[in-house]
Amino acid sequence: MDMEVTAWHSLHSTMTAQQGRRRFSRGTLRRITAFARPHRRKLGWFLVLSTVTAMLAVATPLLAGRVVDAIVGGRSAGLVLGLSGLIAAIALAEAGLGLLTRWLSASIGEGLILDLRTTVYDHVQRMPIAFFTRTRTGALVSRLNNDVIGAQRAFSDTLSGVVSNIVTLLLTLAVMLSLSWQITLIALVLLPVFVLPARRVGRRLADLRREGADHNAAMGTQMTERFSAPGATLVKLMGRPSRESAEFAARARRVRDIGVRSAMVQTYFVTALTLVSALALAVVYGLGGFLALRGQLAAGSIVSLALLLTRLYAPLTALSGAHIEVMSALVSFERVFEVLDLQPLITEKPDARDVPEGPVSVEFDSVHFGYPAADKVSLASLEEVATLDTRGGEEVLHGISFRAEPGQMVALVGSSGAGKSTIAQLLPRLYDTDSGAVRLAGEDVRELTAASLRDTLGMVTQDGHLFHDSIRENLLLAKPEAADDELWDALRRARLDALIASLPDGLDTVVGERGYRLSGGERQRLTIARLLLAHPRVVILDEATAHLDNTSEAAVQEALTEALDGRTALVIAHRLSTVRAADLILVVEGGRIVERGTHETLLAEDGRYAELYRTQFAAAQAGTAGPAGSPEGIDSPVDTAPEAGPDLVTGASLVN
């Protein structure tokens, strides 16, 4: 390793150390040990081979000096050739050990990455929906990528570096002192000239890199949001592309300026230290030559000292910031453990039972619920805020009670924000009740296995989310073992088979991010096809036809009629005509059921339901296209008369 390489190495070490400077708890070490335990055998061999490699690195300069002494002293050619052969053998051994050490390092590091990533991923999968509604996706992904790799570095780089540097330093000092204590002391006196600038410049470069990373992150966020289909649409609709371009260009120019400054600071530093190193070599040759001419030092020792000089500065410089560098590497472990320490609010009991076979009833028994506070489901670092929002925990459902017998349909109607979707989310345990019980077939859902809940319940939401994958893969989420014939049958029943068959790639057509290559109606019908494929015993429809035009809605309603036939159903709808034939209609306002009954009985009571019904009917009769005729807060588009459209249960027209 020459002096310039040593300078770059010292700069990188101190800069990295300054970037991650932070305290960590002692308990972190115990948890790290638990993750390292499966790799302990490879880790032991890795440390042994790193030590042997460091010893061989010190042996080469010493042998080179012996060769020079043999030549100057006129010794036999055999000795010179023998020493040269030994140097060559050490070089081969170093190369072989280097390859083996690198394999062990990669194996340990990648194994740790695998263990950490799968552990964090599985843990995040168990988190409640409230966690995902608060967390920034990019921050969470960073834990699985950047922080996991940083944690891996603690083993594959930092640990081995500390061990090999300590061995190299001790052996180098011992050899140099044995050759010339005078030159060794002078070399140590010059060390502050080498180390102190590295720490100062490293701190400056760390600040520049941090600032550059912030600007890069801002650019990444801007690109992620603006390059998505809805983001690009918003920019175009608002007519501000020039402003967006100017903001992006300003950040990009700042990153460029930081890059130029960083490059020049590094170059000045390396140039200066290379000059200092050259002066140090000059001292070795000058003082060594003077001592050699006086007979106090052999010529070969001068060569050995010159070669050993870099092996003295490099480990000393690295070890001077070793404590900080170890801390910075371990910080990544703490950030990973921070996510793992956030316990899921919803867990499966060890003795959980399956949902009983046969038809399934649905019952809400005096259910009270409030969304959990941020500190129970999130982290400030994942939300990228200084402190978590202290709001939350207020009760939003107050004593909800109703029962749907097997095969019946219960409809939820009411104003926006009344709590209808919240009620629906308690059934599949997206959230758990604070008090009261939600039951399936007479069993509390908290006593049931998650797998049986998934098999029993099918839910279609308003947004109809799809993954950026093929139509086939999006359908197979509901039934992974389904054959193509089953997929086409589900598409036919969702009135989507003709469209899919007309596509060049058919079932293998990629739908795009969130399904944006499909229209809103096509996307929703594909999610309904997924529901039909699953064959659930209980169906939850949360505004399932909200994005459909009249033609698509009529087709989908026919498919839903088949999907709901003989199944227990919980339906949230804003078009009251679509739930007119429900067995039970619940009017929800302010988290309470204020009215219940059939369509006819609720109209006869002339309460809130009748008000909603008349509002929709009057607006449709007036031919309005917007919510001007609706009372404030009513969740009811008024472009369709309440008596128009097929019924969810019978499929028949509701025209009187």
* Residues whose CB is less than 8 angstroms from the CB of residue 437 and which lie 6 or more positions away in sequence, other chains included: 363, 364, 365, 366, 367, 444, 446
pLDDT at 559: 67
**Looking at this protein, which amino acid is placed at residue 263?**
A
pLDDT at 361: 92
Cα 522 to the center of its chain, rounded Å: 30
**pLDDT band for position 388 (cuts 50, 70, 90):** low
Q: Residue 309: which of 286, 278, 270, 267 has the closest Cα?
A: 278
pLDDT at 329: 67
**pLDDT band for position 404 (cuts 50, 70, 90):** very high
Q: Residue 371: which of 534, 203, 591 has the closest Cα?
A: 591
- Cβ atoms of residues 8 and 270 within 8 Å: yes
**pLDDT band for position 307 (cuts 50, 70, 90):** confident
498-516 pLDDT, tens digit per residue, is 888 998 888 988 887 767 7
409's enclosing H/E stretch is strand 409-414
CA distances from 55 to 185, 216, 301 (A): 22, 42, 18
Higher pLDDT, 620 or 474: 474
- Cα-Cα-Cα-Cα dihedral sign, residues 133, 136, 140, 141: positive
Higher pLDDT, 377 or 503: 503
pLDDT at 320: 62
Higher pLDDT, 180 or 520: 180
Which of the listed ranges 142-151, 617-626, 629-638 does the model predict with the highest average pLDDT? Answer: 142-151
- Cβ atoms of residues 325 and 179 within 8 Å: no
* Average pLDDT of the residues in 30-48: 84
* Span of 239-248, 289-298, 456-465 with lowest mean pLDDT: 239-248
For helices 241-293 and 181-189, angle between their N-to-C axes, nearest 10 degrees: 150
CA-to-CA distance for 572 and 546, rounded, in angstroms? 10
**pLDDT band for position 591 (cuts 50, 70, 90):** very high
pLDDT at 384: 60
* Average pLDDT of the residues in 532-548: 81
CA-to-CA distance for 584 and 586, rounded, in angstroms? 7
CB atoms within 10 A of CB 44: 11
pLDDT at 419 over 80: yes
User: Two tokens at 332?
Assistant: 């990544």
* Residues whose CB is less than 8 angstroms from the CB of residue 281 and which lie 6 or more positions away in sequence, other chains included: 3, 306, 309
* Average pLDDT of the residues in 649-655: 32
Average pLDDT of the chain, as a whole number: 77
CA distances from 250 to 58, 213, 228, 254, 299 (A): 51, 15, 21, 6, 60
- Cβ atoms of residues 312 and 187 within 8 Å: yes
CA distances from 73 to 291, 295, 490, 566 (A): 17, 13, 92, 104
* Residues whose CB is less than 8 angstroms from the CB of residue 607 and which lie 6 or more positions away in sequence, other chains included: 587, 594, 595
The yes-or-no answer to whether 3-340 and 368-380+390-629 have a common fold is no
**pLDDT band for position 163 (cuts 50, 70, 90):** confident
CA atoms within 13 A on the CB side of 288: 26
625-647 pLDDT, tens digit per residue, is 443 333 333 343 333 333 333 34
**pLDDT band for position 18 (cuts 50, 70, 90):** very low
SS (H, E, C) 28-68: HHHHHHHHHHHHHHHHHHHHHHHHHHHHHHHHHHHHHHHHH
CA-to-CA distance for 141 and 265, rounded, in angstroms? 32
CA distances from 554 to 558, 578, 644, 652 (A): 6, 11, 10, 10
Domain boundaries along the sequence of the chain: 3-340, 368-380+390-629
Residue with tokens 């086409």: 488
The per-residue DSSP string of 589-643 comes to ETTEEEEEE-HHHHHHHTSHHHHHHHHHHHHHHHT--SGGGSPTTB----SS-TT
The DSSP output letter for 514 is G
pLDDT at 185 over 80: yes
Which of the listed ranges 89-93, 123-127, 172-176 does the model predict with the highest average pLDDT? Answer: 89-93
pLDDT at 362 over 90: yes
CA-to-CA distance for 530 and 508, rounded, in angstroms? 15
pLDDT at 8 over 70: no
647 three-state secondary structure: coil
Q: Which CATH number fits domain 368-380+390-629: 3.40.50.1010, 3.40.50.300, 3.40.640.10, 3.30.1300.10?
A: 3.40.50.300
In the CATH scheme, what architecture does the domain 3-340 have?
Answer: Up-down Bundle (1.20)
Which of the listed ranges 13-17, 351-355, 477-481 does the model predict with the highest average pLDDT? Answer: 351-355
pLDDT at 1 over 50: no
pLDDT at 640: 36
Query: Phi/psi of residue 588, each to 5°?
Result: -105, 130
User: Two tokens at 565?
Assistant: 């036939």
pLDDT at 51: 83
* Average pLDDT of the residues in 409-416: 90
Higher pLDDT, 141 or 240: 141
The DSSP output letter for 128 is -
pLDDT at 385: 62
- Cβ atoms of residues 413 and 439 within 8 Å: no
Q: Residue 516: which of 231, 95, 212 has the closest Cα?
A: 231
Q: Give percent of the chain above pLDDT 90.
A: 15
Residue 589, Cβ density class (10 Å: 0-12 exposed, 13-18 middle, ≥19 buried): middle
313-359 pLDDT, tens digit per residue, is 777 766 765 665 666 667 777 778 888 888 888 888 899 999 998 88
219 three-state secondary structure: helix
70-124 pLDDT, tens digit per residue, is 887 777 788 888 888 998 999 899 899 988 988 888 888 788 888 888 888 888 8
75 three-state secondary structure: coil
Q: In what order do the strands lie in the sheet with 584-589?
A: 457-460, 538-542, 568-572, 409-414, 584-589, 592-597
Which of the listed ranges 53-62, 316-325, 347-356, 517-526 does the model predict with the highest average pLDDT? Answer: 347-356
Strand bridging mode 395-404 / 538-542: unpaired
Length of the chain: 656
Q: Residue 202: which of 22, 9, 1, 6 has the closest Cα?
A: 9
* Span of 13-17, 164-168, 271-275, 543-547 with lowest mean pLDDT: 13-17
pLDDT at 54 over 60: yes
Query: Phi/psi of residue 14, each to 5°?
Result: -70, -35
pLDDT at 387 over 70: no
Q: Which residues pair with 410 in a beta bridge?
A: 570, 584
197-226 pLDDT, tens digit per residue, is 656 666 676 677 667 766 776 677 677 667
Which of the listed ranges 52-66, 266-280, 306-320, 420-434 does the model predict with the highest average pLDDT? Answer: 420-434
pLDDT at 626: 41
656's enclosing H/E stretch is none
**pLDDT band for position 178 (cuts 50, 70, 90):** confident
* Average pLDDT of the residues in 548-563: 68
